[in-house]
Structure 1
Amino acid sequence: MNYLIAVLSTRLQAEQAYNALKDGGIPADKITILGEGYQSADEFGLIDPNEQGTKRFQQMSYWLIPFGFAAGYVFNLQTGIEIVSSVSPLINHIIGGLFGAVGGAMGAYFIGGGVGLSIGSGDALPYRNRLNAGKYLIVVQGSEAVKSLATRVLRQFEPENIQGYVEQSS
């Protein structure tokens, strides 16, 4: 499925663009307005970057935390560093493993969560930011011909941004 997303500054522009698209022959069920008073980003299904970041953090935690524990344990075993001098070497190795697990959790949080937040959301984050700033999005779904027609119609409204997307088949 092809998508065309245009960012318009005002509600009036969005409504005029919607009507011009309908008058241009695009079915109303293929046109969606996102913004205040219309569908929200969540209702439309725009990816939530926080959700994506959390998901990546959890995925990375499953292997980074145990790996970090094992690496910390083995490092302490090989170096023989006494973290707490009043306890047995085995406890020191376990404490070293716990420090490694904390390092693994930090890696999962900063790389999985942070990078997942900024990269994993694709263009959803800029669109969400524009919606939060009071702008409106016009989304047109359809074939390449519909997308081409919608592009011609929407250009007359001088949108801030107009971008086409092709949905990847899973």
Structure 2
Amino acid sequence: MCFCFFALATCVVIFARHNQLEMLQKELKSQQHPTMKLVAIGIGEEDINTIKLLNPDLQRRQRQKRMSLWLMPFGFFAGITFTFIANLDTFAFAGSFGEHLIGGLLGLGSGLMGSFAAAASVSSESEDSIRIVRNRLEEGSWLLLIETAMGIEIPWAILQKARPQALVRLSDS
């Protein structure tokens, strides 16, 4: 599931009962905000593991892929450059061209490993909030993820009127 807004105001509303979630969802849809996305999460609804915003593993994998796009070519050229500069004959059996190519391939592999290490070392700023939301879902609660486009305020008064267990703000626009 992908929401293609530039900057989002995002919150998760947590309910103890499914009918509370449905009532709020109907009320928010009746307002006809074309820039508001609503995603119900829980048993019989959307799976939390498919939503990138609420799944740290998906976020980490996406970071790793993006980082590998520039780390791998950088590593390849760094490996070739190192074999020229160091003038070592480590892979002399491959000839002069093969030696530089093997050095480049080893650099490429280093770039790939670096992308995994770098992606794993970065944590998101809303990781604690996501952990709270995921724990509530495991306890049997129902979640409503609300995202609005930049400049559109989340309707806090309507959310408070619905009497949720909790409101977790993930980001502001």
Q: What does residue range 15-164 of structure 1 map to in structure 2 within 5 Å?
A: 15-16=19-20, 27=27, 29=29, 33-41=40-48, 47=53, 48-112=55-119, 114=120, 118-119=123-124, 125-126=130-131, 127-128=133-134, 130-132=136-138, 134-139=140-145, 144=153, 146-151=155-160, 153-154=162-163, 159=165, 161-164=166-169
Counterpart position of 2:33: none
**Structure 1, unaligned stretches of length 5 or more?**
none
C-alpha distance in structure 2 between counterparts of 1:141 and 1:78, whole Å: 52
Distance 1:138 1:59, change over 3 A: closer
TM-score (norm 1): 0.62
Q: How far 1:94 moved relative to its partner?
A: 2.0
Distance 1:62 1:41, change over 3 A: same
Residue range with higher mean Cα deviation, 98-107 or 76-85: 76-85
C-alpha distance in structure 2 between counterparts of 1:63 and 1:96, whole Å: 18
Q: How far 1:130 moved relative to its partner?
A: 4.2
C-alpha distance in structure 1 between counterparts of 2:98 and 2:155, whole Å: 67
Q: How far 1:136 moved relative to its partner?
A: 1.8
**Structure 2, unaligned stretches of length 5 or more?**
1-7, 31-37
Larger Rg: 1
The number of aligned residues is 154
